[in-house]
Amino acid sequence: QTYHVAVVGATGAVGQQMVRLLEERQFPIHKLTLLASRRSAGKQVSFKGETITVKETTPEAFEGIDIALFSAGGSVSKQFAKEAVKRGALVIDNTNAFRMEPDVPLVVPEVNLEDIGKHQGIIANPNCSTIQMVVALKPIKDKYGLKRIIVSTYQAVSGAGNLALEELKEQSAKVLNGEAFTPEVLPVAKDKKKFQIAFNAIPQIDLFQENDYTLEEMKMVRETKKIMHDDTIEVAATCVRIPVFTGHSESIYVETEKEVNVEEVRQLLREAPGVIVEDNPAEQLYPLATRAAGRPEVFVGRIRRDLDRPNGLHLWVVSDNLLKGAAYNSIQIAEAYISKFQS
Ligand code: A2P
């Protein structure tokens, strides 16, 4: 069987990776529809040697679509995902629009693939920072139990889209050349103030919430509990944007129920699906964003027991935010859906 697939947000940082992965992984497609805003209508994108013309996203554009991959922002998903479902499509949504709705599975295939069976037309792809964290922590949770997670992120600008990528490139050149500039995109396009990202670290990703955490931080808190089916796990996050193009890094501290053994943790993670352990201090081996970029796996290293707590563990977790954090996870969901639930 082959499918008519649509990518919504096809011209964006994530959408472009989705199109590339659909081709590279030989996803069973007989037709690919590429949708974006009216601004991009008429743009040409090549797919499997053919040229596809990007169309404006409208309700009618979803006629005949079997699987729609959405990555055009939460408001576009809110406006069009249900229109797609009404017309018979399965929606895999990479935005924050529906993630916490009870009847929408929130899926990381290495962690809770079984949840996709409960969908009512929409399956949500978690936030990029959450995905790489839960892939690394699932084997630890299964073996030792998870009580508490404290995470600080070092997030790449591509997570904020193509305009943010351009902003980092241009600002970096201007700083080095001593030219003046006005920040326009980061930290958050829709917030009032903008700050320099080149040669800086900005402790704000998405909008502040009433509790003084940012929405990105609260996504990590809520989504982790939902994906792991455990509301008792305590999670606190600090999310920081840094001047890296691609690849989110995370410093994670976890407290487990049972005492941990570091060598056993390394072995568990070596055997875990989708994880690559890079952890050898003697050889200066640890995960790096520059190495993780372009790869689909989650890289884990710097695995250490806490100095004071026998059930405390520190990890450094890195992954390509556009791939495992977004496009690749969405396509894994689509592949699992067609293989497990269609045949
Ligand atoms: P466009 O390129 O036409 O603006 P990024 O994450 O890199 O910023 O990309 C966002 C994606 O979402 C782009 O493909 C963008 O299309 C798309 N998009 C933005 N606004 C809309 C909209 N109102 N309707 C449909 N697609 C949209």
What value does the mean pLDDT take over residues 99-124? 97
Residues 182 and 227 in one domain: yes
User: What's the gap in Å between 236 CA and the centre of ligand 1?
Assistant: 31
Residues 155 and 111 in one domain: no
Which H or E run includes 139?
helix 128-144
What interface predicted TM-score (ipTM) does this complex get? 0.99
Residues 115 and 135 in one domain: no
Which position among 30, 119, 229, 248 bears the catalytic label?
Answer: 248
Residues 176 and 296 in one domain: yes
CATH number at residue 47: 3.40.50.720
Through-space distance between the first and last CA atoms of the chain, rounded to whole angstroms: 9
CB of 76 sitting under 6 A from ligand 1: yes
Specify the amino acid at residue 307.
Answer: L
Residues 60 and 11 in one domain: yes
What is the 8-class DSSP label of residue 260?
Answer: P
Residue 307 structural domain: 130-320
Is there a catalytic annotation at residue 239?
A: no
Band (pLDDT 50/70/90 cuts) for residue 79 is very high
Q: Which residue has the higher pLDDT, 341 or 314?
A: 314
pLDDT (0 to 100) of residue 342: 60
Residues 231 and 160 in one domain: yes
**Phi, psi torsion values for 295, nearest 5 degrees:** -110, 150
Short-list 135, 133, 131, 128, CA closest to 150? 133
Which position among 4, 30, 128, 229 bears the catalytic label?
Answer: 128
Mutate to test the pocket of ligand 1, among 11, 77, 93, 188 (most ligand atoms within 8 A of CB): 11
User: What's the gap in Å between 19 CA and the centre of ligand 1?
Assistant: 14
Residues 93 and 198 in one domain: no
How far apart are alpha carbons 27 and 68 in whole angstroms?
Answer: 13
Short-list 44, 101, 100, 93, CA closest to 73? 93
pLDDT (0 to 100) of residue 28: 97
Is there a catalytic annotation at residue 128?
A: yes
How far apart are alpha carbons 44 and 60 in whole angstroms?
Answer: 20
What value does the mean pLDDT take over residues 50-57? 98
Residues 82 and 159 in one domain: no
Mutate to test the pocket of ligand 1, among 70, 76, 95, 166 (most ligand atoms within 8 A of CB): 76
pLDDT tens digit sequence for 146-190: 999 999 999 999 999 999 999 999 999 999 999 999 999 999 999
Domain tally, the chain = 2
Model confidence at 302: pLDDT above 70 = yes
CATH number at residue 252: 3.30.360.10
Share of the chain residues as helix, strand and coil, in percent rounded to the nearest 5: 35, 25, 40
Residues 237 and 115 in one domain: no
DSSP codes, 80-109: HHHHHHHTTPEEEE-SSSSTT-TTS-B--H
Residues 135 and 186 in one domain: yes
Q: Tell me if 276 sits within 8 A of 292, measured CB to CB.
A: no
Residues 159 and 205 in one domain: yes
Residues 80 and 150 in one domain: no
CB of 79 sitting under 6 A from ligand 1: no
